[in-house]
Structure 1
Amino acid sequence: MTDTAPATPLPDGQALAALIAGKLCHDFISPAGAISSGLDLLKDPTAQDMRDDAMGLIEASAKKMVALVAFARVAFGAATSSERFSGAELGELVSGLTEGGRATLTWTVADTSYSKAQSRALVNLAYLTMAALPSGGVATIATRTDGAALVIEGLAEGARARLKGEAVAGLAGQPLSEGLPGQWIQPYWLWLTARDAGGSLDVQAEEGRVVLTAHMPN
């Protein structure tokens, strides 16, 4: 009989905060570094012929940083003092973060108001749907009501639509056994958001197609 190693425990408290902080730092470092590089070029007297390129780099990176912060405030934090968000507001957050990627976002979310928990589930689910299309495709995000529940659905369709092993584990509320914690924490956070609100999360993945469905109390 072969001994089986105990499953890695799920993060709690400080461990969960550390994983989220690590992901945010990873997301922010690229645009922050690009802004720093652009500023260095502006200060370099031998690189004045690259001034326009440097300004373009700074502008694009600053825009990306602002989009990341705005998204993170709703996806991971307490956001603002607002208790509810409109579908249009949430759509702008997601499109601002995913703009320039290979996948196309189709936002068919009802432009009604959503609670903080619903908004958090919606933007995270939308982001992960886009992330399931590394080689391009179409990500369709929609909402509908089903009795007392709000149904949030993300459909990713593309030639290489897929979920990484870390994402599959996180979306099922399972601990990370191998792989990168940074690719596990956001899927797990979506599962945790749905569970803590009294909802549920369903995942279907097949060749060229991934469907994420969250049921949230309405």
Structure 2
Amino acid sequence: MTDVAPSAPEPMPAEGTELATLVAAKLCHDFISPSGAIVSGLDLLNDPTAQDMRDDALGLIAQSAQKMVALVHFARVAFGAATTSERFTARELKDLVTGMTDGGRATLDWRVAEGDFSKPQARALVNLAYLTVAALPLGGEAVVQSRVEDGRLHLEGFAVGARARLKPEALAGLKGERLTEGLAGQWIQPYWLWLTVREAGGELHLEVEDGRVVMVARMPA
């Protein structure tokens, strides 16, 4: 397993206004799909020629609204600190992750030990869990677990399944490298995970092989 967090200070691949712009763009991209679906559902309800689709419209609105709420709750912890909570329980964080991943092809096996997590730890955990599930586009099992050893909190994600993989942009982000080609939207969340772990005084480790992806964040407990 390779250490992908540099031991010596280096110029940040993205910071300040550039970093804020990339995070904002990522969030807008995530929000546009469910919000657009809600508007489409409302248009159907208001269309006198489409009253036979009223039930479908209501179903689309309800499903999209639930997705939007899940996105907002997840983003508040994963990308910011806009919450009154100083610490989060394992159950709260599991609910955030399952709200984002339910309905996908991969199965989430949550083995995170009960206990409280600080804001940086919670931010790292939900991003790591989400990216572990995202590494299984064709399905498989995503195991997310935690343990404390020698005063360090270990957050571990194991993605096992057919064609488990990380896109080149995600690999660059998880290594703390600047994006040179590809989509910034695929890069920013992995980079945000790397940055969160690094600024908390931890290290992020990565292992990628055929049918298996492993991500491990080690942070002060």
TM-score tier (shorter): over 0.9
Distance 1:52 1:124, change over 3 A: same
Asked if 1:201 corresponds to 2:200, the answer is no
CA distance in 2, matches of 1:197, 1:85: 16
In 2, distance between residues paired with 1:79 and 1:60? 25
Deviation of the 1:121 alpha carbon: 0.2
CA deviation after TM superposition for structure 1 residue 146, in Å:
1.1
What amino acid is the match of 2:107? T
Whether 2:104 is the aligned partner of 1:132: answer: no
1:191 maps to 194
AA matched with 2:191: Y
1:121 is aligned to: 124
Local SS of the residue matching 1:52: helix
Instruction: Give the corresponding residue for 1:147.
Output: 150
- 1:1-218 superposed matches below 5 A: 10-218=13-221
CA distance, structure 1, for counterparts of residue 80 and residue 62 of structure 2: 26
Cα RMSD (Å): 1.0
1:16 corresponds to which letter in structure 2? L
Q: Counterpart amino acid of 1:181?
A: A
Aligned equivalents of 1:31, 1:67: Cα separation in 2:
11
C-alpha displacement at 1:29, in angstroms? 0.4
CA offset digits 1:62-110 (Å, max 9, x no partner)? 0000000000000001031111000000000000011111111111101
Give the secondary structure class of the aligned counterpart of 1:15: helix
Partner of 1:4: none
Percent identity among equivalent residues? 67
Where do 4+ consecutive residues of structure 1 move more than 4 Å? none
Cα separation, 2, equivalents of 1:64 and 1:47: 24
Unaligned runs of 5+ in 1: 1-7
Q: Offset of 1:9 from its aligned partner?
A: 6.9
Paired with 1:119 and 1:83, the residues of 2 have a C-alpha distance of 10
Which amino acid in 2 is paired with 1:78?
A
In structure 2, stretches of 5+ residues that fail to align are 1-10
